[in-house]
Amino acid sequence: MLIGGPRVDEIEVSVFGPGYGESIVIHAGLGDWVVVDSCQLPRDTTPVALQYLEAIGVNVETQLKLVVATHWHDDHIRGLAAIVERAQQARFVASMAMANSIDFLTAVSLDERRLLAQNSGVTEFAKIIRVLKARRQASATYPIEWALVDRTIWNRPGSINATAQCLSPSDADFHLLLTRFQNLMPKPGTDVTSVPDESPNLSAVVVWMCCGQQEMLLGSDLENNANPHRGWSAILANVNRPTGRASVYKVPHHGSATAHEPQVWQQLLTTNPFAAVTPFNHPPKLPQPAMIQTLRGLTANAFLTNVAGDEPTKFSDRTATKTIRDFKYSIRQPRHYGQVRFRADAMRPNSWSFELSPVAQRL
């Protein structure tokens, strides 16, 4: 993990990826911080975002202003409840695709005691609801805010203006996923063991951030779709999207071919943007060699957060190993967090620099 915090007038984007999981920590200038998604190694008790912020001297309770859950896959939500609990002054934003799924919210809120998958996204979400319910009792504001296309989820005027705007999910993705949730809801009396599958990542929230003169595109896990009203096609067709070009890009969905849209590079990004990829070291491993070559051809500034791979988790009890395999959990765990850190002067374009932790590398 890299050390040393940014200057007050410096923008930072730190991308963490241990090989399974992803978290983005952003300094928006003036001491304000944003966290998008969370990851946590199995052997750790604290998510990497909190570890990092504490290590560089950030007061999480007062300086963390926004926490975003882009979607509910385990590799993006693990440890998020701990962040929400600590960030007393932060707005919590989740995909609008969850907003009207009242049956789902009720199920995870009331039936947490019956969950079988103790590390699943639904368990983490139940913890978040518990934290937010307690917070709502002490505040007149509604504790969850919902992300949908064109919605501004954070705005800070001042000497370094900062905004965060959602580019997805589109209206079409929202309605289609809502229907899917309703169809997949468990019957009364049955266990809720996982968040209904998003295929392909229908509710992922893509965030556009502008801090001073710097613009950043955080691609989450959003994928392409043949329907022009869905996925990256909907973003590209949206006349209300930001007109600028981002110089920092969090490459979507671990660099998968299904999330790669060439027109994003042509229309939304600067030439040679600083791009970070978080790997997925479980089959099928991502990014694939062909996509690595593609990214190299698109920018000279593409980086991978972790190339160290995974290590097998050893169990002395054969029954435990068999049970884990029966539930289709991996028995491999990441060795280390990897970090790619970008920094720039808030008001000086083309001033980005990068730093890499020992297990990260340039593609």
- Please state which CATH number belongs to domain 10-362: 3.60.15.10
Residue 239 vs residues 152, 222, 236: alpha-carbon distances, Å: 15, 19, 8
Q: Looking at the predicted structure, is the pLDDT value of residue 320 above 90?
A: no
Q: Looking at the predicted structure, is the pLDDT value of residue 189 above 90?
A: no
Of all residues in the chain, the percent with pLDDT exceeding 70 is 77
3-state secondary structure 223-266: CCCCCCCCHHHHHHHCCCCCCCCEEEEECHHHHCHHHCCHHHHH
Of all residues in the chain, the percent with pLDDT exceeding 90 is 60
User: String of b and e for 39-48 (b: at least 16 CB within 10 Å)?
Assistant: bbbeeeeebb
- Residue-level pLDDT at 57: 97
CA distance 262 to 215: 19
Tens of pLDDT, residues 250-275: 999 999 999 999 999 999 999 999 99
- Residue with the two structure tokens 């002490």: 138
Q: What is the DSSP letter of 31?
A: T
Tens of pLDDT, residues 37-92: 999 988 888 999 999 999 999 999 999 999 999 987 878 889 999 999 999 999 99
Of 17, 58, 31, 74, which is closest to residue 330 (Cα–Cα)? 74
- Residue-level pLDDT at 101: 47
Residue 340 vs residues 24, 225, 260: alpha-carbon distances, Å: 10, 29, 20
- Residue-level pLDDT at 225: 86
Domain map of the chain by residue range? 10-362
Q: Please tell me whether residue 355 adopts helix, strand or coil conformation.
A: strand
pLDDT (average), residues 333-341:
83
